[in-house]
Structure 1
């Protein structure tokens, strides 16, 4: 396959040259830039720029010289931290300078956390003692085993003009076409992310879905990546090379996935990293083997006028565990993001495809296979791990599968869209997600039309919050108390009367996290409904839950992000504390919400709690608590408005009276 230049989107490469004094740093730089060996060089060269056309990739290079003097250590550290690549020099005629690489320079780079490719360069090759000739591989192999950041080693002579341009070519190549993300030098195999990306590319190019690239498909791939067709004879050679090394790499239909992967591993082993990187970048991958952010259709998330930056720009999406979707640096206020019907139907079809035995149970390995064209399974880490219900066989049902996708779309829509692209969503990615109506409009219309609801679960420690989440996922009850993580979610489908299904996301808010949550004005913006759980047998638990309810309701009144609230009396299997009914009735009546809902996770008695949560979220104008301060504020505003109305009426009467008097006076004067 032909090679092509590919810069990976970089506008320039900054190479820092470091090493002991007298190892030839400055002479190396001057000879590379001017193609002449300098007779006199200053102690420290100014930044040296190689022209854009110096190497085939067409990317300009800036070379930074450094001082080895102890008093310049701060400046040296600063330059190294700004480097795209580091050239470490030693003098071939001074063995001690070579030893210093492993005893000082390479450990120093690690201490400074400089994580860029390192090129080790032996300068003054012409001065090496011919009686002590040893191979470079023999000398450097132990060092490279210890310091994997070393990309390559080379010897050169500025005086004799031996391999000078090659030094900075290798440094530039290590930046533009790095080995690390693609290939494991120790095992001599492609890295998992590289395999996953190439598998996705193979599937995209296998137009007839027969598991092999035909000659025509192979040629289309070549044209797309390298802008040049393959001749029939070249295709024959490619397949022959693969088959000679790997019999299963080619079959009667063409090049198999195994052969496709072998071919790329072969290119990398032969040092043709630019070939593999050209393929990856043509299909939208960055240096981390992830799809570029530019491929995510942020414009499909329609913004209200107050959510666009002053300059009209659109910043990338972010996610905050409390605020949810962040657009243009601002919380998404009263809106949320859901999958469209098109995306849901696509996912249902894929679920059926990977659920080979049709038992409505996607096993863990089948989930891994499902995401085998993504960098990794997105559900292996928080907040998605263990957030959905597991079947008796340890897998997930279709409802649980779609619930996980609903959760990811709600809390991190950019990631959801990326993963839809990874698994092969065929349509415009923008058609996969939609932004629902803003929450304050739902309250005005007294009805929410969204399909996914987010519920914040508040309560003191050991009140039963985690048990509520576990019961939602039908997990066995446990008396053991465990401290919840900062991000603890449970998501499931709730079937309402009439067979309508909605997705409910429960997010547990730890008691010690409430203050942090409410310290942000928009903290309740992403919340559809809040639930306050208390231990019905413990009076102090009830009092603390009440305090949390007042705190949240006050915050909602102050910020305008009012949410419906429910109180849940957990551990109903235990004896209630004295005055429980009287106190709870008084509080719920005073705040204008319904009485606490008793449940027992131990006995599995939930009083249709999850249906009631969804029902309250569907009618957000109901069950909004009102504090004494909020009620007084409303009465004050009503009084002010009424006073203004009386003043307006009085003014109107006065104006009418004056007008009538003027008419009367005019007529009187006319008659006289």
Structure 2
């Protein structure tokens, strides 16, 4: 396979040369730049630039020389932190400088938390004592096993111009084609994330989905990645190499996934890591083996009160994916099937909060189609870029712009008195012990538990709710701990992405209602001040308990004063939910209703109306005066004409 310049996206490489005094740092740099040996060289050279055409990659290299004195220690540390690669030198004729690599320099690089790859270079090869020959491999293997950041090691001679250009070629190569993300030097195997990325490449190239790349698919892959077709004899040669080493790497159809992995491991072992990087970058990967930003080229510019949803095309794709990976056709994706589904992504995106356990699971412990789509809707709401990336990881091959859509502004929805959204985010507020978490669990159909565990961090759940005409809307409940409300409201736009705010209180506890009313007032006031007022609902939880004497009257007054509906009475324990989730959807569908007003807000509204009315009267009066003046002038003109 031939190699073209990869899409690494770099415009320069900065190489810092360090090592003990007298190891030949400056002579090495001068010889590389001038392609000749200079007898006299400054102790520390200024930054030296190797032009873009110096190496095949077409990327210029800037080489930074350093001093080894104690007074230069601060500047050395500064340069190392800015390095893309480090060339660490020792002198072949001074064994003590080789020992210093292990006893000082490599430990110092770790202390400074230098993350750049290291190229160990023995200078003054021409001065080595020939009576005491040494093996570079024997010397360096123990050190390289201890310090995995060492990319490669080599020896050179500035005086004899031996392997001088190669030093900085390997330094550049270590930056543009890093080994660490792809290959485990210790086990001599591809790393898991590399295998997941290569599996995605294989799946995308396996057009007929028969788990093997036939000659036509292999040739198409070669053209896509390297702009050159494979000759029939070359295909036979590739297959023979694989089959001799790994019989299961080739079958009667062509190259299997196992064989595809073997080939790339072979390239890396043979020092041709750029081949694998060319493939990965052609399919959109960056150095962290995630899809590059330019590959996810859909702009998600939106106002604070807009969010992103899956399009119908993306939903249909996901339904097809669900069917393919539901191998036992039981309508459920179990853990192993989900792992298989996401085996072409860097990792399973739902293994951590906020997605873990956020959707309804079946009695079998897996996700139904509804739960599967709900998880995707949640991810798209919270992190549309991650959602798009994962769609592409699992094989979405259409235009990325066709997968997601930006919703209409909620302020416009209020004016139109209707929304076109399919996913609603509901913030759940309430005092401790009010039943917020139990409400969230009820959305997932989980049984009530008497075990109380206070919520310390925000918590999400998501599910689909039946709506008019048999349609389904996705409801996301975001539980806001009582202690987290102040922090939430410190952001002026915090309510912009909230479709409905629900205030849960314990209907048997007078303080609980009072505290819920205070939270409702805080949210209403914040909405009035920020311009992001939201429909609000009161939920009277624990309806199975006896209410305190004035409960109904107090709650009715709060609702009436704020201009919202009467509380929805529910009992999570008795599973009497009083259609609360449908009521949430209803409030979201009609965003102009149930928006609370405080007394201050009402006064401000009346003041604005009064000002607008005054301005209107003033405008009408001014217009009447203008018309009257025009009429008088016309009358005067006619009178003058007639006389």
For 2:122 and 2:129, locate their aligned partners in 1 and report how far apart those are by CA, in whole Å.
14
Of the three residues 390, 393, 404, the one matched with 2:375 is 404
1:439-454 matches, cutoff 5 A: 439-454=410-425
- For 2:327, the equivalent position in structure 1 comes to 356
Query: Displacement of 1:145 after TM fit?
Result: 1.8
- For 1:166, the equivalent position in structure 2 comes to 166
User: Does residue 1:343 correspond to 2:291, yes or no?
Assistant: no
Query: Displacement of 1:430 after TM fit?
Result: 1.2
For 1:152 and 1:662, locate their aligned partners in 2 and report how far apart those are by CA, in whole Å.
96
For 1:464 and 1:127, locate their aligned partners in 2 and report how far apart those are by CA, in whole Å.
80
Query: Displacement of 1:210 after TM fit?
Result: 2.0
Query: Displacement of 1:90 after TM fit?
Result: 1.6
- For 2:557, the equivalent position in structure 1 comes to 586
- For 2:6, the equivalent position in structure 1 comes to 6
1:2-151 matches, cutoff 5 A: 2-6=2-6, 8-151=8-151
For 2:208 and 2:637, locate their aligned partners in 1 and report how far apart those are by CA, in whole Å.
96
- For 1:378, the equivalent position in structure 2 comes to 349
Q: Select between 126-135 and 263-272 the one with higher mean Cα deviation.
A: 126-135
SS at match of 2:461: strand
For 2:196 and 2:642, locate their aligned partners in 1 and report how far apart those are by CA, in whole Å.
102
Query: Displacement of 1:268 after TM fit?
Result: 0.7
- For 1:565, the equivalent position in structure 2 comes to 536
Query: Displacement of 1:591 after TM fit?
Result: 0.4
For 2:57 and 2:85, locate their aligned partners in 1 and report how far apart those are by CA, in whole Å.
16
Counterpart contact for 1:332–1:526, Cα < 8 Å: no
Counterpart contact for 1:7–1:57, Cα < 8 Å: no
Query: Displacement of 1:657 after TM fit?
Result: 7.1
Query: Displacement of 1:605 after TM fit?
Result: 2.1
Counterpart contact for 1:457–1:530, Cα < 8 Å: yes
SS at match of 1:213: coil
Closer/same/farther in 2, CA of residues 401 and 663 from structure 1, 3 Å limit: closer
The CA deviation string for residues 10-47 of structure 1, in whole angstroms up to 9 with x for no partner, is: 11111000112122111111111112222222221001
User: Does residue 1:616 correspond to 2:587, yes or no?
Assistant: yes
1:165-564 matches, cutoff 5 A: 165-299=165-299, 317=300, 327=301, 332-484=303-455, 486-564=457-535
The CA deviation string for residues 153-198 of structure 1, in whole angstroms up to 9 with x for no partner, is: 1122222322222211111111111111111112211111211121
The CA deviation string for residues 463-482 of structure 1, in whole angstroms up to 9 with x for no partner, is: 22222112211223223333
Query: Displacement of 1:6 after TM fit?
Result: 2.6
Query: Displacement of 1:662 after TM fit?
Result: 8.1
The CA deviation string for residues 475-513 of structure 1, in whole angstroms up to 9 with x for no partner, is: 232233334354421010001243221111111122222
Closer/same/farther in 2, CA of residues 653 and 426 from structure 1, 3 Å limit: closer
Counterpart contact for 1:123–1:158, Cα < 8 Å: yes
Q: Select between 541-550 and 130-139 the one with higher mean Cα deviation.
A: 130-139
The CA deviation string for residues 74-117 of structure 1, in whole angstroms up to 9 with x for no partner, is: 21111111111011112223333223223322222222222111
SS at match of 2:284: coil
Query: Displacement of 1:604 after TM fit?
Result: 2.0
Closer/same/farther in 2, CA of residues 143 and 586 from structure 1, 3 Å limit: same
SS at match of 2:18: strand
Counterpart contact for 1:4–1:226, Cα < 8 Å: yes
SS at match of 2:119: strand
For 2:167 and 2:632, locate their aligned partners in 1 and report how far apart those are by CA, in whole Å.
101
For 2:368 and 2:640, locate their aligned partners in 1 and report how far apart those are by CA, in whole Å.
93
SS at match of 2:350: helix
For 1:467 and 1:530, locate their aligned partners in 2 and report how far apart those are by CA, in whole Å.
16
For 2:84 and 2:454, locate their aligned partners in 1 and report how far apart those are by CA, in whole Å.
43
Q: Select between 627-636 and 456-465 the one with higher mean Cα deviation.
A: 456-465
Query: Displacement of 1:149 after TM fit?
Result: 0.9
For 2:284 and 2:632, locate their aligned partners in 1 and report how far apart those are by CA, in whole Å.
82
Query: Displacement of 1:578 after TM fit?
Result: 4.4
Q: Which residues of structure 2 form unaligned runs of 5+?
A: none
For 1:667 and 1:437, locate their aligned partners in 2 and report how far apart those are by CA, in whole Å.
57
Counterpart contact for 2:427–2:479, Cα < 8 Å: yes
Q: Select between 636-645 and 453-462 the one with higher mean Cα deviation.
A: 636-645
Query: Displacement of 1:370 after TM fit?
Result: 0.8
User: Does residue 1:574 correspond to 2:545, yes or no?
Assistant: yes
For 2:402 and 2:636, locate their aligned partners in 1 and report how far apart those are by CA, in whole Å.
73
For 1:338 and 1:248, locate their aligned partners in 2 and report how far apart those are by CA, in whole Å.
43
The normalised TM-score by structure 2 is 0.95
For 2:267 and 2:341, locate their aligned partners in 1 and report how far apart those are by CA, in whole Å.
28
For 1:544 and 1:99, locate their aligned partners in 2 and report how far apart those are by CA, in whole Å.
70
- For 2:566, the equivalent position in structure 1 comes to 595
Closer/same/farther in 2, CA of residues 68 and 574 from structure 1, 3 Å limit: farther
The CA deviation string for residues 376-435 of structure 1, in whole angstroms up to 9 with x for no partner, is: 221122221111111112110000000111111112112222221221123222111122
Closer/same/farther in 2, CA of residues 468 and 69 from structure 1, 3 Å limit: same
For 1:61 and 1:667, locate their aligned partners in 2 and report how far apart those are by CA, in whole Å.
88
For 1:425 and 1:671, locate their aligned partners in 2 and report how far apart those are by CA, in whole Å.
84
Query: Displacement of 1:128 after TM fit?
Result: 3.1
For 1:379 and 1:362, locate their aligned partners in 2 and report how far apart those are by CA, in whole Å.
13
When the two structures are aligned, how many residues end up with a matched partner? 643
For 2:538 and 2:443, locate their aligned partners in 1 and report how far apart those are by CA, in whole Å.
17
Query: Displacement of 1:366 after TM fit?
Result: 0.5
RMSD, aligned CA: 2.3
- For 1:312, the equivalent position in structure 2 comes to none
Q: Select between 132-141 and 392-401 the one with higher mean Cα deviation.
A: 132-141
For 1:667 and 1:350, locate their aligned partners in 2 and report how far apart those are by CA, in whole Å.
84
For 1:269 and 1:286, locate their aligned partners in 2 and report how far apart those are by CA, in whole Å.
21
Q: Select between 100-109 and 61-70 the one with higher mean Cα deviation.
A: 100-109
Closer/same/farther in 2, CA of residues 581 and 58 from structure 1, 3 Å limit: same
Query: Displacement of 1:670 after TM fit?
Result: 11
SS at match of 2:223: helix
Closer/same/farther in 2, CA of residues 579 and 168 from structure 1, 3 Å limit: same
- For 1:156, the equivalent position in structure 2 comes to 156
Counterpart contact for 1:12–1:62, Cα < 8 Å: yes
- For 1:309, the equivalent position in structure 2 comes to none
